[in-house]
Amino acid sequence: MKITIIGPGNMGRAIATRAVAGGHSVTVVGKTLESAQKVADEVRASAKQGAEISATTLENVEPGDVVVLALWYGTNIEVAKQLSEKLNGKTVVDIANPLNSTYDGLVTAPDSSSAEDVAKAVGPKTKVVKAFNTTYASTLLSGQVAGEPLDVFIAGDDEEAKNKVAQFIKDAGLRPVDTGPLSRARQIEGLGFLHIVTQGDLGTNYASAVKILS
């Protein structure tokens, strides 16, 4: 699979690491080529044979099958609007936790979510999937916490797009957990928020995981 990761920050680097470890080819996209190239170079050591790694800028991006918006809420909407034509027919993954500036609430409307706002921005020809908002960057680097593979909660309205993202997650050594339609992103983003606000009390310093055990 060709995976395009927009945003060469903590999550961009972490998701790129898991993607290339799963044998997928990754293009890292930054505002500048330098920032994208730096992350592309960093993840190369984790790549399985056959995984190609490249870097480009937002201006020059040619999106792959799956496009991950590793961006803050707000920027994800702006970039989704900016690239909407190029994203036609693609699967777009939104990972944002749309927190307010004081980290004590979500800024999205109660009848929406970051993922649904991205879906409105790209239009109906693009399939949006929510994923990776409850998994912290530091834990994605290894893909495990306490010896257990991370659960990645996903939501989306298009089964084919969701299956593609689920396959990518499995190949990355993680467990996809399908929660249903894209509107479930409201609850997944609520779960991401809950995970963040418990960090201080638990003292886990963003190295914990939300997992369903049985």
Ligand X SMILES: NC(=O)c1ccc[n+]([C@@H]2O[C@H](COP(=O)([O-])OP(=O)(O)OC[C@H]3O[C@@H](n4cnc5c(N)ncnc54)[C@H](OP(=O)(O)O)[C@@H]3O)[C@@H](O)[C@H]2O)c1
Closer CB to ligand X, 104 or 159, in the complex: 104
Closer CB to ligand X, 33 or 137, in the complex: 137
List the structure tokens of 199: 């960090």
> What's the closest the beta carbon of residue 81 comes to ligand X, in angstroms?
11
Please report, as ranges, the residues that interact with ligand X according to CB under 6 A. Answer: 6-12, 29-31, 35, 58, 70-73, 75, 79, 95-97, 133, 136-137, 206
Distance CA 95, CA 105 (A): 17
List the structure tokens of 17: 């690491």
> What's the closest the beta carbon of residue 114 comes to ligand X, in angstroms?
7
DSSP one-letter code for 47: P
Residue type, 191: L
Give every CB contact of residue 56 below 8 A, 6+ residues apart in sequence: 27, 28, 29, 33, 36, 62
> What's the closest the beta carbon of residue 49 comes to ligand X, in angstroms?
27
> What's the closest the beta carbon of residue 19 comes to ligand X, in angstroms?
15
Closer CB to ligand X, 130 or 164, in the complex: 130
Closer CB to ligand X, 10 or 142, in the complex: 10
Which candidate, 20, 36, 41, 166, places its Cα nearest to that of 93?
166
